Amino acid sequence: MSTIAFVNIAMHGHVNPTLPVVAELVRRGHSVTYHTSPAFSKEIEATGAAVRLYPGGDQPLPDPPIPLTLLDGLARTAVGLLPPVLSDLRRIRPDLIVHGAACPWGAVAARELEVPAAALFTTFAFNRHAPSPTAASWELLAAAATRPRNVRGYLRSRGELHRRYDTRGLPLLDLANVRQPLNLVFTSRAFQPGVDAFDRSYRFVGPS
């Protein structure tokens, strides 16, 4: 059987939909680890997966974030979490890394370790009918003009990621929409806006 590492944002809307999938993988005999914060330890342990805690305890992103602060937060979080996450994953030696679409540190870890990866979209997959919260937009441009500190923070974090890691395939801006050759979408095709725009790399698995 395989060793599968889940690397995700520690927020209810990102973690909870994945738990039945994790439980089923464990039931089928796979070894599953899940990187998360202490707030989700009990729920994940109940699936049979082994919990790996992010350092620093529960540190949620700004809620509700605007696109620019979300971008800044995701890039900064990736810089902080990649060293311990990579250290863990090198010991785990996963056959597959499964990461949230808004979890760039999971995607970079897969690149660094040369491990296949799959992405999780726990609501809709993103396109022009269902825009990603971090896609280029007038709202993002307007925020950049009034929040130079966040712009500088984002650019600084992206520069550090580029210097230290293999960031090929990571979107320049759209860090909440990090795709992989396999993308699991937790809705049905019937409810996905603009569903015909998605190729076969998107698998609509329905709500869990």
Q: Convert the pLDDT of each residue in 139-170 to its tens digit.
A: 888 888 889 999 999 999 999 999 999 999 99
- Model pTM? 0.92
Residues 93-103 pLDDT 10s:
999 999 999 99
Residue 73 one-letter amino acid: G
Sites in the chain below the pLDDT cut of 50: none
Burial of 28 (0-12, 13-18, 19+ CB in 10 A): exposed
C-alpha 153/C-alpha 144 separation (Å) is 11
Q: Domain containing 52: what range?
A: 3-204
Tally of domains in the chain: 1
Burial of 10 (0-12, 13-18, 19+ CB in 10 A): buried
Give the per-residue pLDDT at 129: 86
Give the per-residue pLDDT at 59: 62
| CATH number of the domain that residue 131 is part of | 3.40.50.2000
Give the per-residue pLDDT at 135: 85
Give the per-residue pLDDT at 87: 98
C-alpha 86/C-alpha 109 separation (Å) is 6
Give the per-residue pLDDT at 83: 97
